[in-house]
Structure 1
Amino acid sequence: MVELTAPAPRVPARAAARTRLNALITRVGVGSVTGFIGTSTAGVAVSRGLIAALMGAAGRMPRGASVVQVRDGGVVGEWVYGAGVDRRSETAVLYLHGSAYMMCSPGTHRSFVARLSAVLGLPCFVPDYRLAPEHRFPAAADDVDAAWQWMLDRGYEPENLIVAGDSAGGHLTGAFVLNRAADGEPGPAAAVLLSPVVDLTFGLSAQQERRRRDPMITAAAARRLVDLYTRDADLSDRRLALDYHAAADAPPMLIQAGGAEMLSADSRHFASQVSAYGGRADLEVWPGQMHVFQALPRLTPDADAALLRIRDFVADALATSTAIPNENEGVA
């Protein structure tokens, strides 16, 4: 169990032996079959069941955590509270789960989000956004917008909110904060992207794959899954192809990725583009780690270490955000 008050460690310089072994086991066990799972109705069901089983095996619900289900009009999801977290907190996290726009749910990510909530000391709302192939683009993006507005309608101020997400949820997070900045709309105090998908064509991943095979899945197989969501969509739409031109006006962002995953290339690209356009993107690539390793505490101690670094980043961002006077304050 993560020690909530422990100092955040540095990102390790090299992968531990246990990390390398787990990546090898995953490649032999999981990675050897994911490329053969199709995108038929049966294939989708198998993919969903497989990832749910993996998430359940790799982490457990922390003691003292609690969940409150939400079904309010078009907004469906759940509040997750780590042990001791104040449900009346004026600060909260909007957490967008992965993966591939076609599987997972608040339930698959519940134990991970509970750990994150406890480390941050903040309640987390996880929307149950609609999935492909039943619901294609822009269903998921629309549901994220609705969840954000729902939180504002309940009294949360943008400067007291954090938006975070993993994998496809990282893509949703990046698009959300960049587009709000471009539109001149108030955004969150900060964003956290864990192993984000950035290039939905998986071209960056394919290039990375030529240097090192991802333990979990190939770029081609991952693209087939995401295509269930983007099929017939205009891939130049700014909610799919990220637009970095307003990055200077976006909140600070922390990006964490595993060194063994193909999406480390996406994370590097995202960070470099945000920085090139004047924004702040703190990039951490953890040597030897797999996709969304932060959710796998039974496989690696780096899962907890990474959460401590997220804790410090979020705390600094919130302190900075709330210290900046509201420019509309005092205006009649």
Structure 2
Amino acid sequence: MLTEEPALPSRGSLRARGAAAISSLTLRQISAVLPPDQAWGLWCSRQIVARVMDTFGPSLSGTRVRRVDTRTARGNRVVGEWVYGAKVPRRGTDAAVYYVHGSGYALCSPRTHRRLASWVSTLTGLPVFSIDYRLAPRHRFPTAADDVRTGWEWLTTEQGLRAGRVVIAGDSAGGHLAVDLLLQPATAHPAALVLLSPLLDLTFELARARETVRRDPAIRSRDARRLIELYCAGIDSTHARLRLDVASGRVLPPTLIQAGGAEMLAADAIALTDGIRAAGGTCDLEVWPDQVHVFQALPRLTAEAAPAMRRIAAFIARSLRADDIDQIAG
């Protein structure tokens, strides 16, 4: 298990800044012309994201995957996959990571995020369960949130994992789903929460304000909102499960948030951090200079992905050690 914790750089690497510039000339322009409300446009978007994740993601060498498709005792379906990184045992551990992937409720899956999940597993020495929640537009709000909750309850009841021995991690829209889950009064809290470029404001008002300072190299806020609307169209934007009141809600578990300084969702990361702290929780915020959205998944594109992931692994290790101490003291 790696626990060395590299410091944040003061400026993005030349490779990272070059990647952001190229993204502005390619992905940003493509996302503006692909209509997410058209089947062909959504299909193209899914293919592009999958190709980017595969091309620039970490190696899958030594990774093992066990597919899950089962029913809970209550009859709810759980679909996902266990991911075991290189040399991570499939048995004999009492801890795990529960991963909630992102990409606008409509684009991605455990398959697109398998490389990232495997990297998390390898660095932490823990198995990762990646939930395969149903996607929009076929499945609208609150289907994804319900699936994420079902997966969490299955892990912490029928799989024999105590909530305090699990860390929940998520990126982008998966961050919104993870926070929504933990704000629910009956949800047992994990040891910690790790969020990569989390989406908080589904109206994208925060993102639009950020755009006036620096434009996102991958997508415009208006284009991102069109994608999100596939999931929550027709639902009042002030709905409590969409407009999350973090500051007035439950105290969340210890949280680490990482975002890219070049992305519009850096504003969401800052607002979420403020909300967690206002509610009485602890939150470490890292805004990595000049980095794009979920840069941690793209180590072949940006040199900062590896040190960022080592910091995540160190945070997870500390959180689980703290739970061990709490159990002994209790």
Q: Aligned pair 1:44/2:42, yes or no?
A: yes
Matched letter for residue 155 of structure 1: G
* Residue pair 2:262, 2:292 contacting (<8 A) in 1 also: yes
Instruction: Using the TM superposition, give the Cα deviation of residue 46 of structure 1 relative to its aligned residue in structure 2, in angstroms.
Output: 1.2
Distance apart, 1:265 and its partner CA: 0.4
Contact (CA 8 Å) 2:251, 2:279: kept in 1 or not? no
TM (norm. structure 2) is: 0.94
SS state of the match for residue 134, structure 1?
coil
Are residues 43 and 283 of structure 1, via their aligned partners in 2, closer, same or farther at CA, if it must alter by over 3 Å? Answer: same
Q: 5+ residue gaps in structure 2?
A: 72-76
Instruction: Give the alignment of 1:123-138 within 5 angstroms.
Output: 123-138=127-142
Whether 2:308 is the aligned partner of 1:306: answer: yes
Match of 1:9 in 2: 6
Task: Give the whole-Å Cα distance in 1 for the aligned partners of 2:38 and 2:305.
Answer: 33
Distance 2:2 2:105 in 1: 35
Structure 1 counterpart of 2:120, from 116, 124, 129: 116
Partner of 1:269: 271
Partner of 2:78: 75
Shift of residue 186, structure 1, vs aligned partner: 2.2
Q: Equivalent of 1:18, from 15, 34, 42?
A: 15
Question: Hey, what's the Cα distance between the residues in 2 that align with 1:185 and 1:104?
Answer: 25
Task: Give the equivalent residue in structure 2 for 1:65.
Answer: 63
Q: Which whole-Å CA distance do the structure 1 matches of 2:328 and 2:226 have between them?
A: 45
- Aligned counterpart, 1:157: 162
Alpha-carbon deviation of 1:278?
1.1
Query: Hey, what does 1:293 align to over in structure 2?
Result: 295
Is 2:2–2:314's contact at 8 Å kept on the other side of the alignment?
A: no
Deviation at 1:248, TM superposition (A): 6.2
User: What are the within-5 Å matches in structure 2 for residues 1-332 of structure 1?
Assistant: 5=2, 7-38=4-35, 39-73=37-71, 74-88=77-91, 89-152=93-156, 153-179=158-184, 183=185, 185-245=187-247, 249-325=251-327
- Structure 1 residues 185 and 45, CA, compared in 2 at 3 Å: closer, same or farther? closer
Residues in 2 aligned to 1:301 and 1:15: alpha-carbon distance in whole angstroms: 9
Residues 176 and 239, structure 1, Cα contact 8 Å, conserved in 2: no
* AA of the residue aligned to 1:149: E
After TM superposition, give the deviation of residue 53 of structure 1 in Å: 1.1
Cα distance in 2 for residues equivalent to 1:16 and 1:111: 23
| Cα distance, 1:295 vs structure 2 | 0.2
CA contact (8 A) 1:177 1:191 kept: no
CA distance, structure 2, for counterparts of residue 187 and residue 52 of structure 1: 31
* Displacement of 1:5: 3.6
Instruction: Show CA shifts across 1:34-62 (max 9, x none).
Output: 11111211111111111111111111443
Residue correspondences, number = 322
Q: Distance in 2 between matches of 1:27 and 1:53?
A: 17
Alpha-carbon distance in structure 2 between the residues aligned to 1:244 and 1:104: 26
1:120 deviates by: 1.0
Shift of 1:323: 1.8
Contact 2:247 2:274 (8 Å CA) reproduced: no
SS at structure 1 position matched to 2:115: helix
Question: Secondary structure at the residue paired with 2:258?
Answer: strand
Residue type of the alignment partner of 1:44: L
Tell which deviates more after alignment, 4-13 or 41-50: 4-13
Q: 8 Å contact 1:23–1:289 — kept in the other structure?
A: yes
User: Identical aligned pairs, as a percentage?
Assistant: 45
Which amino acid counterpart does residue 222 of structure 2 have in structure 1? A
TM-score by length of structure 1 reads: 0.93
Q: 8 Å contact 1:76–1:127 — kept in the other structure?
A: yes
Q: For residue 35 of structure 1, give the secondary structure of its aligned residue in structure 2.
A: helix
Matched to 2:80, the amino acid is G
